[in-house]
């Protein structure tokens, strides 16, 4: 089989309106992505509420590398590669919990919550100049925005805030679904799909697929909710936010959850509203909490591995060139009314996860893409939709809601990083 | 478990196993109308995540009351869901029945389920501990609650186009 690209120049695989099939299936290219993209980006690892107290930890990943996200005694967040500096065993296999230290199960090397090597059994055999300070667990650079914790293996890249750029204001808007309470992780769905990670990367600001793939979900809603999810009747749009990030506004009236609070309460939230009134919340609080419960009206995709989608986080992890793991993280109101959090959980279960009314259909079409690329390898993947009426937006090109502006944003960032 | 002797005397394990086997056959045949008819109106079909048992306040893979069960079945049957048209084929076995209790009209039965699914010629295996709360009605045994606790439920699963 002849390749129509020079394997030495992956950036040649991406043009503005199309990308080439090897992006989904070339194992050597995948290895380069792990190095050039995942080792040099801000990668989302956890939400602060998953490590709420000193000593709280959760296992996570930076690309293919297993890490521990842990809050130390000073309250600082550390992201440590889950590998003993002695002979490489993982020091922790508990998914989430609380501890005062990490101890390697193999030879007993002990580490503090900041990754520093505290002690080793029988140190005499290492001699007098054994330098514990040089043998701490590998710690990544860590920064947070709105309690979203990101880590990077690259000490030289720009600060997180600069990397996020215009996406920050969308993150701020998204977090208003705390309804006046801090946003908290309530649980998550996790699943793998036999597909390349970029098939997922493309998806969250791809509103074009929604009425097709999710027809069975839309049909399970009441008429009013069905109208809410008929995105293309509204003034939505998708905008390139730079650095590979993009936002798709599906439900414009739900961009800012503090606005339009006088709108009628949708029928499917009426029971919740009454429960909140019965608990003693005044009408403005009821309206604010009810509105927050439904989530935001947009999907924000942050390159390379996390999106903020309506009411949840979607986190991707590249497992292999044709295998990707996904977390759908359910969010709620920390200290908020139980009835509201319950409803958010039920809404999450309705669409997301291995048995949701949405996710299995997403997983099916994603796998179909991976299977389809076995044929016609010379054919391009088209990402040209909406170029015809794209206009300058606030922070970058803005297209029709069904445009592939978000994919073009991601692939231009991919191209930039792979060319370095 | 002090009442176990009484339980054993009053409840016929073979009858319960036959009921659960019939349900397993119904699920493998995707005969979901027949499946809905096995339920009472008041309970839940639950596929939980992790070991927690406060299902109402935790994120589950699914937590279906009667209305959600009907909606789930409609989704399977209407033909608009690409993952269910067609769904993966399944063959399952249910075994290791253990009577966990019987009080009033309720019988609690535990058992093991193995499901092999096939889609695109790709086969996957799942295992679950099932816990049934069964009730005896005038029309025979019915399911009030069913909890299907999958192995690795708090880890990475795959998308399912069938029920456990």
Q: Of A235, A288, A256, whose CA–CA distance to A401 is shortest?
A: A235
| pLDDT tier for residue A68 given thresholds of 50, 70 and 90 | very high
Q: Which of A52-61, A220-229, A374-383, B149-158 has the lowest mean pLDDT?
A: A220-229
Choose among B49, B78, B159: nearest Cβ to A360: B159
Give me the CATH code for the A166-418 domain, please. Answer: 3.90.380.10
- Predicted local confidence at residue A6, as pLDDT: 55
The mean per-residue pLDDT over the stretch A327-351 comes to 98
Contact call for A360 and B161, based on CB within 8 A:
yes
User: Residue B120 in contact with residue B83, Cβ under 8 Å?
Assistant: no
CB-CB neighbors (< 8 A) of B56 in chain A = 342
Task: Note whether A355 contacts B47, CB cutoff 8 Å.
Answer: yes
Of the pLDDT bands very low, low, confident and very high (cuts 50, 70, 90), residue A1 is: very low
State the CB neighbour count (10 A cutoff) for residue A79.
Answer: 25
Q: Angle at which helices A270-278 and A338-351 pack, to 10 degrees?
A: 160
Q: What is the pLDDT of residue A8?
A: 66
Of A144-148, A229-233, A405-409, B147-151, the poorest mean pLDDT is in A229-233
Beta carbons of B56 and A189 less than 8 Å apart: no
Ranges of each domain in chain B: 4-150
Average pLDDT over residues A129-155: 97
Nearest to B75 among A341, A353, A357 (CB): A357
User: What pLDDT shows up at residue B86?
Assistant: 93
Cβ within 8 Å, pair B58-A187:
yes
In this prediction, residue A2 carries a pLDDT of: 45
> How many C-beta atoms lie closer than 10 Å to residue A84's C-beta?
23
* Residues whose CB is less than 8 angstroms from the CB of residue A302 and which lie 6 or more positions away in sequence, other chains included: A44, A164, A167, A244, A245, A308
Phi-psi region of A22 (alpha: psi -120 to 50; beta: other; left: phi over 0): alpha
| Residue pair A408/A399 in contact by the 8 Å Cβ criterion | no
How high is the pLDDT of residue A7? 59
* Out of A177-191, A206-220, A403-417, least confident range: A206-220
DSSP A35-102: IIIITSS-EEEEEGGGS-STTEEEEEEETTEEEEEEE-TTS-EEEEES--TTT---S---SEEE-S-E
For the segment A387-396, the average pLDDT, to the nearest whole number, is 97
DSSP result, A144-171: EETTEEEEES-TTSPPHHHHHTTHHHHH
- pLDDT score of A201: 97
B57, A341: Cβ pair inside 8 Å? yes
Among B49, B59, B88, most A C-beta atoms within 10 A, so best to mutate, is: B59
CB A254 within 8 A of CB A231: no
Q: What is the structure's pLDDT at A229?
A: 85
A364 to B63: CB separation less than 8 angstroms, yes or no: no
For the cut 80, the answer to whether the pLDDT of residue A3 exceeds it is no
- The Cβ of residue A364 has, within 10 Å, a number of other Cβ atoms equal to 22
Closest-CA distance, A290 to chain B, in angstroms, reads 18
Which residues are CB-neighbours of A15 under 8 A, at least 6 positions away? A380
Judge if ipTM > 0.90: yes
pLDDT at A71 over 80: yes
Chain B: which residues have CB within 8 Å of chain A? 47, 49, 56-63, 68, 71-72, 74-75, 78, 80-84, 120, 122, 154-161
Chain A residues contacting B, CB < 8 Å? 95, 186-194, 213, 215-217, 219-220, 325, 330, 338, 341-342, 345-346, 348-350, 353-357, 359-365, 367, 371
CB contact under 8 A, A190 and B84: no
pLDDT of residue A279: 97
Distance from CA of A195 to the nearest CA of B (A): 12
Interchain CB distance below 8 Å, B83 and A361: yes
- Measured from the Cβ of residue B67, the count of other Cβ atoms closer than 10 Å reads 9
Tell me which CATH code domain B4-150 carries. 3.10.450.50
Name the residue facing A189 among B56, B59, B120 (closest C-beta). Answer: B59
Give the per-residue pLDDT at B9. Answer: 57
Q: Which two tokens stand for residue B110?
A: 């535990």
pLDDT for the residue numbered B8: 55
- The per-residue pLDDT for range A267-320, each reduced to its tens digit, is 999 999 999 999 999 999 999 999 999 999 999 999 999 999 999 999 999 999
Query: At which residue do the structure tokens 């054919």 appear?
Result: A379
B145 φψ region: left (φ > 0), alpha (ψ -120 to 50), beta (else)? beta
Please tell me the distance from the alpha carbon of residue B159 to that of residue A364, in angstroms, as a whole number. Answer: 8
Give the one of A187, A192, A364 whose C-beta lies nearest to B83's C-beta: A364
Within 8 A of B146 by CB-CB distance, chain A residues are: none
Per the rule left: phi > 0, alpha: psi between -120 and 50, beta: everything else, A302 is: beta
What are the structural domain ranges in chain A? 43-145, 166-418
pLDDT digit of tens for each residue in chain B (164 aa)?
A: 444 444 555 689 999 999 999 999 999 999 999 999 999 999 999 999 999 999 999 999 999 999 999 999 999 999 999 999 999 999 999 999 999 999 998 999 999 999 999 999 999 999 999 999 999 999 999 999 999 999 999 999 999 999 99
A43-145 has which fold? Rieske Iron-sulfur Protein (2.102.10)
> What is the percentage of chain A residues whose pLDDT exceeds 90?
93
Structure-token pair, residue B97? 């029945």
């Amino acid at each position: 089989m002849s390749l129509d690209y020079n394997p030495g120049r992956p950036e040649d695989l991406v043009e503005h309106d199309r990308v080439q099939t090897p992006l989904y299936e070339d194992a050597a290219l995948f290895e380069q992505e792990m190095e050039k993209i995942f080792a040099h980006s801000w990668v989302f690892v956890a939400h602060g509420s998953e490590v709420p107290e000193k000593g709280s930890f959760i296992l996570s990943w930076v690309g293919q590398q297993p890490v521990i996200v842990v809050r130390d005694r000073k309250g600082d967040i550390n992201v440590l590669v889950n590998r003993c500096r002695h002979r490489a065993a993982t020091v922790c296999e508990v998914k989430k919990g609380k501890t005062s230290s990490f101890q390697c199960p193999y030879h007993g090397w002990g580490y503090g919550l900041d990754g520093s090597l505290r002690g080793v059994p029988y140190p005499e055999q290492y001699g007098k100049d054994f330098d514990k300070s040089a043998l701490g667990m590998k710690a990544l650079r860590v920064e947070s925005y709105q309690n979203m914790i990101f880590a990077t293996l690259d000490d030289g890249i720009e600060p997180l805030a600069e990397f996020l750029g215009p996406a920050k204001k969308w993150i701020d808007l998204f977090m208003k679904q705390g309804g006046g309470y801090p946003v908290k992780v309530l649980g998550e769905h996790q699943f793998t799909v036999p597909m390349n990670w970029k098939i997922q990367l493309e998806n969250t600001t791809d509103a074009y697929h929604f009425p097709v793939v999710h027809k069975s979900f839309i049909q399970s809603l009441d008429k009013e909710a069905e109208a809410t999810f008929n995105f293309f009747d509204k003034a939505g749009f998708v905008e390139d936010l730079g650095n590979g990030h993009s936002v798709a506004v599906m439900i414009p009236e739900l961009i800012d959850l503090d606005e339009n609070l006088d709108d009628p309460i949708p029928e499917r939230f009426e029971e919740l509203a009454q429960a909140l009134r019965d608990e003693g919340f005044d009408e403005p609080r009821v309206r604010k909490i009810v509105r927050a419960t439904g989530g935001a009206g947009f999907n924000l995709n942050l390159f390379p591995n996390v999106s903020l989608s309506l009411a949840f986080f979607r986190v991707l992890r590249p497992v292999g060139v044709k295998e990707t793991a996904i977390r759908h993280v359910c969010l709620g109101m920390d200290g908020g009314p139980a009835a509201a959090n319950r409803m958010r959980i039920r809404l999450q279960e309705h669409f997301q996860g291995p048995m949701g009314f949405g996710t299995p259909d997403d997983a099916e079409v994603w796998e179909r893409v991976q299977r389809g690329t076995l044929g016609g390898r010379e054919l391009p993947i088209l990402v040209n939709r909406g170029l015809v009426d794209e206009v300058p937006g606030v922070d970058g090109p803005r297209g029709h809601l069904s445009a592939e502006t978000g994919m073009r944003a991601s692939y231009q960032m991919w191209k930039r990083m792979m060319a370095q | 478990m002090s009442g176990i002797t009484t339980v054993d005397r009053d409840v016929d394990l073979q009858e319960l196993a036959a009921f659960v086997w019939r349900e397993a056959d119904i699920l493998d045949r995707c005969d979901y109308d027949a499946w809905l008819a096995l339920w009472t109106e008041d309970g839940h079909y639950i596929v939980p995540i992790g070991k927690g048992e406060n299902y109402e306040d935790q994120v589950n893979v699914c937590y279906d009351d009667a209305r959600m069960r009907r909606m789930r079945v409609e989704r399977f049957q209407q033909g608009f869901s690409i993952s269910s048209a067609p769904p993966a084929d399944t063959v399952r076995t249910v075994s290791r029945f253990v009577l966990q209790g019987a009080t009033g009209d309720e019988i609690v039965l535990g058992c093991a389920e193995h499901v092999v699914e096939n889609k695109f010629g790709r086969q996957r295996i799942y295992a679950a501990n099932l816990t049934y709360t069964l009730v005896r009605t005038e029309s025979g045994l019915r399911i009030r609650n069913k909890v299907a606790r999958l192995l690795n439920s708090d880890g990475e699963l795959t998308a399912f186009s069938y029920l456990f």
